[in-house]
Amino acid sequence: MTDFALVQTKGGFSAPERFEAEVADCEVQGSIPKDLDGSFFRVGGDWLYPPKFADDAVLNSDGYISAFRFRNGRVSYRGRYVRTRRYERDFAAGRQLYGYYRNPYTDDPSVRDPEHPNLRTLANTSPLIHAGRLFALKEDGLPHHIDPVTLQTLGVWDFGGAWKSQTFTAHPKLDPLTGEMVAFGYEATGLATNDVFIYTVGRDGRVRHEIRTRTPYMTMLHDVAVTHRRFIIPMCGYITSLDILKAGKIHWWWDNSKPAYIGVLARTGDGGDIRWFKGPQRCMMHTFNAYDEGDKVVLYAPFWDGNFFPFFPNTDGTPFDPSRARAFIRRITLDLKSRSDAWTEEILYPFPVVDLGKVDPRVLTLPTRYGFTSFADPKRQFDAARAGSLHGRINNCYGRFDFQTGKFDACFAGPTHSLQECSFVPRPGSREEGDGYLMGVAQNYAQMRSELIIADARDLAAGDVARVILPFRSSAQVHGIWASSQELA
Ligand SMILES: [Fe+2]
């Protein structure tokens, strides 16, 4: 999220875009692989109106969904705001009516409604395709159903009334063996509650199973992991309370006194079997994947040592510590036979990476060899003269990290480029893990434009095979997904 953190900067690459776009036949450098037939969807935030408070979190910007559509070696682009209730109300008023990130007590009286905080969701975090439907997600509300071709907002989706949590995660997990979606909502019964509702949704889009549980203390649950049999809940020191919110403060605070926990429970149970492992302080945001190994669970994740978000203050008043905000790829083992409540942990690579990692979706929930994410290689050339001063930290490489051998391969994006999250696209017809493409958007600071980069995941050192050039800065992405034409049909 490095560059997303610059959304509020005036004139920088991630300054608000404030337009919707269509490019019918994009300029391409290189050669688009002919077997790519589908769409790369991205969701991020773009302020329609400036935030009400200058120190607000960048995560409070309006949801924006975009799509690169691939067909017959050609690519088109489309970008639209998600028409949330909040967007529509702000647009009607011609100004920002809403206050701090996830604090309805700070909203304009005309829209203030703390009993229904999920109605002010922004749908600005991730896209999802399941059961043939496209959604834009944010963890403080329900999914927004989106037309996959026009990107028009069709409405809020509550699974026919079967989804009882007030919220829906931005990181549902799709089981490649069953076609099921395992998803959850936290703050499930209202602001600052520690209720977590977990759902299994069948490949037909209907809710099949519900588990209601609670976390040891009220906290943010941004991402989880799912194995073939189990549901894994990493949680750490981001806290809030109704007192904090009623005092008109920002939603999340980092509490150094709170231990990190990882909960493990069966996907098909009632939650009564949940076991909490307790570890050293960690900031646990995104995961790569997890899988069962008998009575053990192996979890791969790029966790930090401490508070990552500079705009979420420490409760003890200490300043933000960047030395603890570095994500290292870790292998974490949870032994369900052990009498100890500790987990074991190994750092697999000695350098930090971007905490936006993906695996081949065909191995989600299953034993995994490769993780993919962007990172900053300081040994690569950086052309400061051409890139100018309007850049943030440079993430110049996409990496394939081999968890078995400890090796990694990298694709360098160029001396004036910084990379957002990459997604893995399986090569049509292939079966082997890691056989496919990496795809993600780069910021070209020299040209002040966005470029979609496509690389062969098995030969990253060869560089990208194609770039799709947009003649403008596209709205900052948080997460993206690839969907083949068959998935969209
Ligand atoms: Fe995320």
The pLDDT assigned to 10 comes to 52
- 6 pLDDT higher than 50: no
Residue 1's pLDDT band (cuts 50, 70, 90): very low
209 burial (CB, 10 Å; 0-12 / 13-18 / 19+) is middle
* Secondary structure in 3-state letters for the chain: CCCHHHCCCCCCCCCCCCCCEEECCCEEEECCCCCCCEEEEEEEECCCCCCCCCCCCHHHCCEEEEEEEEECCEEEEEEEECCCHHHHHHHHHCCCCCCCCCCHHHCCCCCCCCCCHHHHCCCCCEEEEECCEEEEECCCCCCEEECCCCCCEEEECCHHHCCCCCCCCCCCEECCCCCCEEEEEECCCCCCCCEEEEEEECCCCCEEEEEEEECCCCCCCCCCEECCCEEEEEECCEECCHHHHHCCCCCCEECCCCCEEEEEEECCCCCCCCEEEEECCCECCCCCEEEEECCEEEEEEEEECCCCCCCCCECCCCCCCHHHCCEEEEEEEEECCCCCCCCEEEECCCCCECCCCECCHHHCCCCCCEEEEEECCCCCCCCHHHHCCCCCCCCCEEEEEECCCCCEEEEECCCCEEEEEEEEEECCCCCCCCCEEEEEEEEECCCCEEEEEEEECCCHHHCEEEEEECCCCCCCEEEEEEEEHHHHC
| Residue 380: how many other CB atoms lie within 10 Å | 14
| Residue 244 phi, psi dihedral angles, 5° rounding | -60, -45
Compute, in angstroms, the gap from residue 159 CA to the centroid of ligand 1: 22
The pLDDT assigned to 455 comes to 98
Compute, in angstroms, the gap from residue 356 CA to the centroid of ligand 1: 7
Compute, in angstroms, the gap from residue 429 CA to the centroid of ligand 1: 29
Compute, in angstroms, the gap from residue 25 CA to the centroid of ligand 1: 30
Compute, in angstroms, the gap from residue 346 CA to the centroid of ligand 1: 23
Compute, in angstroms, the gap from residue 233 CA to the centroid of ligand 1: 14
The pLDDT assigned to 5 comes to 40
Please give the Cα distance from 112 to 116 (Å, whole number).
Answer: 9
Compute, in angstroms, the gap from residue 479 CA to the centroid of ligand 1: 7
Please give the Cα distance from 63 to 73 (Å, whole number).
Answer: 29
- 137 pLDDT higher than 70: yes
Mean pLDDT of all residues in 308-331: 94
Compute, in angstroms, the gap from residue 304 CA to the centroid of ligand 1: 14
The pLDDT assigned to 388 comes to 81
Name 308's Cβ contacts closer than 8 Å, sequence gap at least 6: 283, 285, 325, 327, 355
443: β partners: 418, 450
| Residue 211: how many other CB atoms lie within 10 Å | 22
Please give the Cα distance from 87 to 152 (Å, whole number).
Answer: 13
Tokens of 129: 């395709």
Compute, in angstroms, the gap from residue 343 CA to the centroid of ligand 1: 23
* pLDDT tens figures, 53-86: 998 988 999 999 999 999 999 999 999 999 999 9
Compute, in angstroms, the gap from residue 478 CA to the centroid of ligand 1: 7
Compute, in angstroms, the gap from residue 398 CA to the centroid of ligand 1: 18
User: Kindly report the CA angle at 64 between 357 and 84, in degrees rounded to 5?
Assistant: 120
Q: Report the percent of the chain where pLDDT is more than 70.
A: 97
Compute, in angstroms, the gap from residue 471 CA to the centroid of ligand 1: 27
The pLDDT assigned to 143 comes to 98
Contact 41, 67 (CB under 8 A): yes
Compute, in angstroms, the gap from residue 125 CA to the centroid of ligand 1: 7
Amino acid at 7: V
Compute, in angstroms, the gap from residue 34 CA to the centroid of ligand 1: 30
Amino acid at 15: A
Compute, in angstroms, the gap from residue 154 CA to the centroid of ligand 1: 23
- 2 pLDDT higher than 50: no
326 burial (CB, 10 Å; 0-12 / 13-18 / 19+) is middle
| Residue 38: how many other CB atoms lie within 10 Å | 20
Compute, in angstroms, the gap from residue 5 CA to the centroid of ligand 1: 14
Compute, in angstroms, the gap from residue 50 CA to the centroid of ligand 1: 23
Contact 440, 419 (CB under 8 A): yes
Mean pLDDT of all residues in 114-119: 95
Q: What's the distance, Cα to Cα, between the start and end of the chain in Å?
A: 32
The pLDDT assigned to 305 comes to 92
Mean pLDDT of all residues in 1-5: 36
Compute, in angstroms, the gap from residue 234 CA to the centroid of ligand 1: 13
Compute, in angstroms, the gap from residue 126 CA to the centroid of ligand 1: 7
Tokens of 59: 């995560």
Tokens of 118: 């999920």
Mean pLDDT of the chain: 95
* pLDDT tens figures, 375-400: 999 999 988 888 886 566 689 999 99
Please give the Cα distance from 398 to 410 (Å, whole number).
Answer: 6
Compute, in angstroms, the gap from residue 153 CA to the centroid of ligand 1: 21
Please give the Cα distance from 468 to 479 (Å, whole number).
Answer: 18
Contact 383, 416 (CB under 8 A): yes
352 burial (CB, 10 Å; 0-12 / 13-18 / 19+) is middle
Mean pLDDT of all residues in 110-126: 96
Compute, in angstroms, the gap from residue 373 CA to the centroid of ligand 1: 13
